[in-house]
């Protein structure tokens, strides 16, 4: 990874997009999301490193790997958003623009989803915009490169 790469990290169960609760998350697959991100990065002259893991430690390792020297970090931590202080702490060490993304509106769902451990350590949030929220997040990272 280098300063022209956007690292997009996806947490647990996002590999099941398109199958799991389509009434909440829609019919797009994670592969569809990756293509949306790839197109948004290409339009901005940026590269893409797109990853998914169901394992908290793996996500933390990737955050630490990309914490500096990249264009930015986009993270949809999924369920770890509401539970992982360890992931929050890793993101707090990120020195590049960082964006928290959620496909659904976490504030309009079950009460336990209302709190995000990531919001206070990310620079920007995109919540409840469906999978196009990833595109908005990538564009926001690209705008930060122009500043």
Specify whether the CB–CB gap between 53 and 79 falls below 8 A.
Answer: no
Give the structural domain span for 73. 5-145
CATH of residue 67's domain is: 3.40.50.9100
Q: What is the pTM assigned to this prediction?
A: 0.94
User: Catalytic positions, please?
Assistant: 25, 102
Residues of the binding site for substrate = 76, 82, 89, 103-104, 113
Averaged pLDDT of the chain:
93
Residues of the binding site = 76, 82, 89, 103-104, 113
Which residue has 């998914």 as its token pair? 52
How many structural domains comprise the chain?
1
Indicate the burial class of 7 (C-beta count within 10 angstroms; 0-12, 13-18, 19 or more): buried
In tens, the pLDDT along 12-65 reads 999 999 998 888 787 899 999 999 999 999 999 999 999 999 999 999 999 999
Specify whether the CB–CB gap between 66 and 97 falls below 8 A.
Answer: no
């Amino acid at each position: 990874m280098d300063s022209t790469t956007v690292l997009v990290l996806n947490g647990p169960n996002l590999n099941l997009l398109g199958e799991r609760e389509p009434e909440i998350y829609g019919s797009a697959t994670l592969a569809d999301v990756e293509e949306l991100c790839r197109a948004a990065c290409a339009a901005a002259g940026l590269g893409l490193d797109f990853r998914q893991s169901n394992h908290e430690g793996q996500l933390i390792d990737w955050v630490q790997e990309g914490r500096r020297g990249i264009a930015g970090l986009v993270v949809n931590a999924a369920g770890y958003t509401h539970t992982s202080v360890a992931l929050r702490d890793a993101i707090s060490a990120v020195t590049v623009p960082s964006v928290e993304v959620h496909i659904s509106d976490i504030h309009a769902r079950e009460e336990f989803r209302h709190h995000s451990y990531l919001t206070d350590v990310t620079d920007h949030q995109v919540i409840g915009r469906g999978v196009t929220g990833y595109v908005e997040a990538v564009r926001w990272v690209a705008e930060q490169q122009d500043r």
